[in-house]
Amino acid sequence: MPTINSINGPTSISDLGWTLSHEHLTNGTSGMQDLPGICDTPERKQEIIDRCIEALKRAKSSGINSLIDLTPFDLGRQAWLFESVAEQYDEHGVNIICATGVYRWIPSIFFAWDIDEIASYFSRELTEGIAGSSIKAGIIKLAWDFEARLDEGPGSPRVQLEKTARAAARAARATGSPISCHTRAADKLGLPLLDIFEDEGLDLGAVTIGHSNDTSDMTYLTEIAKRGAVVGLDRFFSTDEAYVAERSKIALNLVRAGFAKQISLGHDGSPAGFFGRWKDADTVNLDVWKLVPDYEVPWLRDHGVSESDIRLLTVDSVAQTFLTAKSLIG
């Protein structure tokens, strides 16, 4: 079985097991390690590490074996955090795959780079390491949200987003790495992304269109699946009974439509995320990665989803994106 890059080094795809498809150890903004009051002291860094380790241990206790961290450099990725968490693998036991790529607001330097220069940057992080470390990314992150609506002129966000999408496709083909996309489901942004990837010759089986459970539009969701991509149902934030039913029903409908092997599950959650300010310990949910295994999957079982289909959407779907990506290398 082929291997992929995890923060602990090469990991067999067959060892991934139950994988959360879209999470963050921490997130916030590029350079947040240099901003006052977030992770600029040894004490703050240690607290971030401790929160992540505890959250990983709790996720493991609920059956989670692997986690994909989709935090590129401009969303606050911290190589020191991955190194520390990797050193404590024996304590938490969760495989973590980190990402290269880009978040919603294209870095200004990318405006000056052409598609192949951006692809080369992505490829370097996948083959050499991130941020000067020995930790290699294992997946490419893209994000299309409100900014994709702004398409006036060559320097517009939409034009730059399309450029980075083509770069991601080229890096994916060059390195055999999958792509996972943050998308605004209400605007059906997964479809133009798939168009770009197809135009670049990418097998859509290596692509996850994430945050898709922000809509219940089955026409849109089944179109993603029919085109061969994985439908990322990877936002799950609450244990409220009505919320659990609403979100879980989207997965149930896709399973009933025959797409269990093209569903991945996750939370888009972080035990140590910082958008603007430090969060005190009593405001942090260290069970953030337990909601899918403890609430959504039991709901699906209670509503007739078979164990074989549960395995498809918790284990096999993510593994298949890595296998498909590996097949891209000639």
Q: Closest Cα partner for 169 from 110, 104, 118, 135?
A: 118
As a residue count, the chain comes to 330
CB-based contacts of 152: which residues, under 8 Å, 6+ apart? none
Q: In CATH, what number is assigned to the domain containing residue 7?
A: 3.20.20.140
Rg (CA), the chain: 18
Local mean pLDDT, 10-residue blocks, the chain (330 residues): 95 97 90 77 90 97 98 92 97 98 87 94 97 95 80 76 95 98 95 97 98 97 98 97 98 98 97 74 86 98 98 98 90
Report residue 232 as tokens: 């990322």
> Number of folded domains in the chain?
1
Q: Identify the H or E element spanning 233.
A: strand 230-233
pTM of the model: 0.95
**Pairing mode, if any, of strands 9-12 and 3-6?**
antiparallel
Domain extent for 43: 3-326
Determine how many CB atoms are found less than 10 A away from the CB of residue 7: 27
pLDDT at site 27: 87
